[in-house]
């Protein structure tokens, strides 16, 4: 039971990180800013994704 729950949580985190990276790539930021956020998301999956959605998105990106 526990390994199944762990794999489900891992899959959800992976999907959310992929969504965050796609969001970074589709944003209107410069290339260096995109690279920075992608590296942060990859190195710190939960924290990086949360920081990007809280701090990294510009108001123009949030509405898109």
Tens digit of each residue's pLDDT (9 = 90 or more) over 3-31: 888 899 999 999 999 999 999 999 988 99
What pTM was estimated for this model as a whole?
Answer: 0.82
CA distance 48 to 56: 10
What pLDDT does residue 23 have?
A: 93
What percentage of the chain carries pLDDT values higher than 70?
A: 88
Please tell me the total count of domains within the chain. Answer: 1
Task: Tell me the residue range of the domain where 28 lies.
Answer: 2-63
What pLDDT does residue 57 have?
A: 79
């Amino acid at each position: 039971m526990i390994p199944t729950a762990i794999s489900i949580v891992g899959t959800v985190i992976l999907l959310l990180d992929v969504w965050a990276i796609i969001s970074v790539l589709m944003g209107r930021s410069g290339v260096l800013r995109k690279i920075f956020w992608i590296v942060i998301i990859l190195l710190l999956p939960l924290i990086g994704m949360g920081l990007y959605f809280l701090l990294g998105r510009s108001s123009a990106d949030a509405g898109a």
